[in-house]
């Protein structure tokens, strides 16, 4: 059985962007793959985190996964820091990755824009190498992610190819899988940006734990344009197009169908109400399951079981790598 793997950072409340861009793809794929799903707490400290908050958030992210429909029958759930071997492999990868490759990463450029070197932690620079280790240590065949992570998965491919050519066939070269629609959900207030857990203002971000009133308010005040005519055009109507994409993704219909439904509507308030109804209808049942999952206490059991299997799989791979690199004694 082929393997799929993906991780999500516990750096804040999950957003509808995380849900549409990644978690929903996981739910669809889980039955056809040997699935590894992780909470990337080691990645999240590239920006300062409150330790208490991080402990709590790790468990909560897992509860959202389960509430969204992931099952321990198909998935090996783990917290990244429970499998410390990732960091050991990342060190080896850092030694075969050059500064130029990492300097080209768009996310690094965006996150460090306008900052002086003194304010940029090295971890932010080397973060994609740890991500490559997350992926390659499990021989993942596919990595479903939102489009912002595509470049990082490509780096993991390069690292795998580089290692394989230097030390002999060792790693599977993974494929990124990006959803056709919803690979980049945009901020409702500033559609030039992706919707992000760490946005400076929560107004343009729908969090999975927002209540109905908050969801409706955020959508009704989403930035649109002065045309007063619903249509899809990412360049000239990014706000409206974003709302149509959210609608298409959640209803699992193609973009043309979603566009046809609203095309020509002149009242943005009516259009926005339909989008808000759709989001509320999808999120409310997930929120209800989320509360149950947290209350039933199964999360720790899933994580303990998952960490055990993840350590076994990762441990075998790392032993092979250490031997090939020449570490220790023959
Ligand atoms: P992060 O929140 O950065 O840990 O992202 C976890 C997963 O969600 C990754 O696969 C991201 O690519 C995806 N993701 C995050 N934000 C968005 C967004 N606004 N639209 C689509 N996918 C997203
Ligand atoms: N870097 C990813 C993000 O910010 C999270 C992540 C860490 C990841 N390791 C991964 C995603 C491995 C896919 C595979 O969204």
Domain boundaries of the chain, sorted by first residue: 3-178+297-325, 202-290
Q: Report pLDDT for 4.
A: 97
Q: How far apart are CA 286 and CA 239, in angstroms?
A: 26
Quick one: pLDDT band at residue 26, thresholds 50, 70, 90?
Answer: very high
Nearest ligand to the C-alpha atom of residue 43: 2
Distance (angstroms) between ligand 2 centre and the Cα of 43 equals 8
Q: Is the pLDDT of residue 330 over 80?
A: no
The reply to whether ligand 1 has any atom less than 6 angstroms from the CB of 80 is no
**Count of residues in the chain:** 330
Residue 44 Cα: closest atom of ligand 1: 4
d(CA 216, CA 125): 38
Ligand 1 centroid vs 147 CA: distance in angstroms?
Answer: 8
**What pLDDT, in 10s, does the model give residues 101-154?**
999 999 999 999 999 989 999 999 999 999 999 999 999 999 999 999 999 999
Ligand 1 near 195 CB (within 6 A): yes
The alpha carbon of 31 and the centre of ligand 2 are apart by a number of angstroms equal to 21
Interval 238-275: pLDDT, tens:
999 999 999 999 999 999 999 999 988 999 999 999 99
- State the distance from the centre of ligand 1 to the C-alpha of 225, rounded, in angstroms: 26
42 lines ligand 2 (CB under 6 A): no
CB of 40 shorter than 6 A to ligand 2: yes
Query: In whole angstroms, what is the distance from residue 178 CA to residue 29 CA?
Result: 12
**CB-facing half-sphere around the CA of 204: CA atoms within 13 A:** 22
- The class that CATH gives domain 3-178+297-325 is alpha beta
**Is CATH 1.10.240.10 what the domain over 202-290 is classified as, yes or no?**
yes
CA pseudo-torsion sign 304, 29, 7, 278: negative
Please report, for residues 9, 48, 240, the alpha-carbon distance to residue 124 in angstroms, rounded to integers and kept in the order given.
14, 11, 33
Check if 146 has its Cβ closer than 6 Å to any atom of ligand 1.
yes
Checking 103-111 for CB contacts under 8 A at 24+ apart, the result is 105/151, 105/152, 105/155, 106/148, 106/151, 107/148, 107/151, 107/152
10 lines ligand 1 (CB under 6 A): no
Stated pTM of the model: 0.95
Ligand nearest to the CA of 208: 1
For 161, other C-beta atoms within 10 Å of its C-beta total 12
Closest ligand 1 atom to residue 195 Cα is 19
């Amino acid at each position: 059985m082929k393997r799929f793997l993906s991780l999500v950072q516990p750096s804040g409340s999950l957003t509808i962007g995380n849900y549409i861009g990644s978690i929903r793809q996981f739910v669809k794929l889980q039955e056809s793959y040997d699935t590894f799903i992780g909470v990337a707490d080691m990645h999240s400290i590239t920006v300062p985190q409150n330790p208490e908050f991080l402990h709590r958030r790790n468990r909560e992210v897992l509860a959202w996964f389960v509430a969204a429909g992931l099952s321990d029958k198909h998935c090996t759930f783990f917290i990244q820091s429970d499998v410390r071997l990732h960091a050991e492999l990342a060190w080896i990868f850092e030694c075969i990755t050059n500064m130029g490759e990492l300097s080209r990463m768009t996310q690094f450029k965006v996150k460090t824009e306008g900052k002086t070197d003194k304010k940029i932690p090295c971890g932010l620079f080397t973060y994609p190498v740890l991500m490559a280790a997350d992926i390659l240590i499990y021989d993942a065949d596919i990595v479903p992610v939102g489009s912002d992570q595509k470049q990082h998965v490509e780096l993991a491919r390069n690292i795998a190819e580089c290692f394989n050519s230097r030390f002999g066939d060792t790693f599977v070269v993974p494929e990124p899988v990006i959803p056709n629609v919803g690979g980049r959900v945009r901020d409702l207030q500033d559609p030039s940006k992706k919707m992000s857990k760490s946005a400076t203002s929560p107004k343009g971000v729908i969090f999975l734990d927002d209540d109905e009133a908050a969801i409706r308010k955020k959508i009704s005040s989403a930035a649109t344009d002065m045309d007063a005519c619903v249509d899809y055009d990412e360049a000239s109507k990014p706000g409206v197009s974003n709302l149509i994409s959210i609608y298409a993704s959640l209803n699992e219909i193609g973009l043309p169908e979603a566009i046809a439904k609203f095309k020509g509507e002149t009242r943005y308030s009516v259009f926005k109400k339909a989008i808000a109804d759709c989001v509320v209808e999808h999120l409310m049942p997930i929120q209800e399951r989320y509360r149950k999952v947290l209350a039933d206490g199964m999360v720790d059991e899933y994580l303990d079981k998952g960490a055990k299997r993840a350590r076994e799989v990762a441990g075998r791979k790392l032993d092979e790598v250490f031997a090939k690199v020449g570490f220790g004694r023959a």
